[in-house]
Structure 1
Amino acid sequence: MRELGRGFGYLVKGQRWVAQHGKQFGWGLLPGLITLVLYAGALVALALWGTDLVSWATPFADDWSGPWPGLFRGFLTVLLFALALLLSVVTFTAVTLLIGEPFYESLSEQVDISVAGFAPESGLPLWRELLLSIGDSLRIVVRALIWGVLLFGLGFLPVVGQTVVPVMGFFVTGFFLVEELTAVALQRRGVRLRDRLALLRARKSLAWGFGAPLAVVFLVPFVAVFLMPGAVAGATLMARDLMGEDAGADDDSDDADGSGDASGTPRPDGRGAPTAR
């Protein structure tokens, strides 16, 4: 329970950090707004033409008698829209992070600087970091979709499907959200996807405490837009914790004078901590 509370605390601290840094918050809103417009347009188009798409894809049902063609296609249309919503929730963070890579990279660096006085750097060019981020995001989205389809199928089970499965869904979605968000800070520390997943699996309760509440509120994309900058800030603080850096987890991470590093010892060279491979 303590780890759950600690994870939720990082989420709150991240929102507090961006509230105290208005410029970073404003810039951090732009990628989410762009993604929201793109997703909203796609879902509206699916709502308008989803029935036609299903009819085109099921010509074999034209010869069925009675109400069965309409019922069958209606069910497929609802299923298609439900899967599209699930895909939107699962991929919203990944797409927003890809669109906002420079914005969130800068925000994450500022969080590190405000805590320790310096920001670790990967040493890779931006294009290389972007390619790595795209590849990792695709792998995470595939894993999340496999879980999503599995949970969707389990949702048809009596009682369990309406009680336990939705809760499991929030925890699973939250875990993958945390991976995507902490990746911004961990990639700068040279931590690749396999190692990031290992770090999070070793402290699942911490990840769930941060990610599960976020998964609930991210069901409303408009809310997700406003919470995303704070989520990146909070995930950076969590990343410092995962790496064993003193991110001020027992205080409010208010060491904003940049006078010391994670251990409290000044770092005159301004470089980051050793990267983990």
Structure 2
Amino acid sequence: MRDLVVGFGYLMKGQRWVAGHGRWFGFGLLPGLVTLVLYVGALVGLGYGADNLVGWATPFADGWSSPWLGLLRGFLTALVFTFGLFVAVITFTAVTLLIGQPFYESLSEQVDRSEGGRVPRSGLPLWRELWISARDSLRVVARVVFYGILLFAAGFLPVVGQTVVPALGFAVSGFFLAEELTAVALQRRGVELKERLVLLRGRRMMVLGFGVPLTLAFIVPLVAVFLMPGAVAGATLMVRDLAGTESDEPSPQAPAPYSLDKDRGLNDAGRGGFRA
């Protein structure tokens, strides 16, 4: 329970940090606004074109009489739009972080700088950072989809499907949302996806305390846009606890490799929960 509160505390600290640094809050809003416009446009297009798509995919029903034709295609149209909305929700953060990679990396660096100590830099060119971010985001989305399918199937179980499964769904979503957000600071520290997952599993309850409330808020994309800068700031503050900090700031021309303290990542490894 204490770790849950600590994780939520980092989320609040991040929001307070950007509230106290208004310029960086506005700076961090830009990627989310761009992503929101793109997603709204895509969903509007899907809304207009879903019925045509369903009609094209179900030629066998052209000769059906009323009301069966309308019921079938109406149901499938709603299903297509719902699926599109689901995809938008689970990919919104990943796409925002990808579009905003330079913005959020600068924001994360500024958080490190304001807190004192080492300000890690990856030393990689922008295209390489974008490639790593996109690759890791696809891997994370694949994991989310895998767990989503399992939980969807478990949702048909009596009682458990209506109680335990939704809670597990939010836990899974919260964990991987926290992973995507902490990736901004951890990637600058040279920590690969596999190591990041080990690190986050070691403090699973704290990560859930950070990620689950954010997942609930991010259900509304407009809310996600305004919380994203503070979420990145809070994730950076949490990373400073998870991975530790150093007192020296490396030269931008020759960044020192960041050494992950694996023992910290394995603390509390016996705590309950799913394995990412």
* TM-score of the aligned structures, taking structure 2 as reference length: 0.87
Hey, what's the Cα distance between the residues in 2 that align with 1:154 and 1:70? Answer: 31
Residue aligning to 1:136: 136
Hey, what's the Cα distance between the residues in 2 that align with 1:105 and 1:169? Answer: 29
Hey, what's the Cα distance between the residues in 2 that align with 1:159 and 1:58? Answer: 35
Query: Residues 86 and 148 of structure 1 are in contact (CA less than 8 Å); yes or no, is this contact kept in structure 2?
Result: no
1:87-166 matches, within 5 Å, as 87-166=87-166
Distance of aligned partners of 1:164 and 1:61 in 2 relative to their CA distance in 1, 3 Å threshold: farther
Hey, what's the Cα distance between the residues in 1 that align with 2:249 and 2:240? Answer: 20
Report the CA distance between 1:273 and its aligned residue. Answer: 7.7
Deviations 1:235-274 (A, max 9, x none): 01111122134xxxxxxxxxxxxxxx5xxxx537677783
Query: Residues 87 and 145 of structure 1 are in contact (CA less than 8 Å); yes or no, is this contact kept in structure 2?
Result: no
2:14 counterpart of 1:30: no
Q: Which residue of the other structure, out of 247, 259, 273, is the alignment partner of 1:275?
A: 259
Residue aligning to 1:255: none
Hey, what's the Cα distance between the residues in 2 that align with 1:208 and 1:72? Answer: 40
* TM-score of the aligned structures, taking structure 1 as reference length: 0.86
User: Residue 62 of structure 2: SS of its match in structure 1?
Assistant: helix
Deviations 1:48-91 (A, max 9, x none): 22122111111122234453332222222222222212111111
Distance of aligned partners of 1:153 and 1:48 in 2 relative to their CA distance in 1, 3 Å threshold: farther
Residue aligning to 1:19: 19
Query: Residue type matched to 2:6 in 1?
Result: R
Hey, what's the Cα distance between the residues in 2 that align with 1:86 and 1:16? Answer: 30
Report the CA distance between 1:167 and its aligned residue. Answer: 2.1
Hey, what's the Cα distance between the residues in 2 that align with 1:149 and 1:244? Answer: 36
Calculate percent identity across the aligned residue pairs.
Answer: 66
- Structure 2 unmatched runs, 5+: 263-276
2:211 counterpart of 1:230: no
User: Residue 49 of structure 1: SS of its match in structure 2?
Assistant: helix
Greater than 6 Å deviation, 4+ residue runs: 270-273
Distance of aligned partners of 1:153 and 1:39 in 2 relative to their CA distance in 1, 3 Å threshold: farther
Hey, what's the Cα distance between the residues in 1 that align with 2:107 and 2:232? Answer: 8
Hey, what's the Cα distance between the residues in 1 that align with 2:5 and 2:69? Answer: 51
Residue aligning to 2:202: 202
User: Residue 133 of structure 2: SS of its match in structure 1?
Assistant: helix
- Structure 1 unmatched runs, 5+: 246-260
Report how many residues are paired: 258
Q: Provide the alpha-carbon RMSD of the alignment.
A: 2.0
Report the CA distance between 1:3 and its aligned residue. Answer: 0.9
Report the CA distance between 1:181 and its aligned residue. Answer: 0.3
Distance of aligned partners of 1:198 and 1:269 in 2 relative to their CA distance in 1, 3 Å threshold: closer
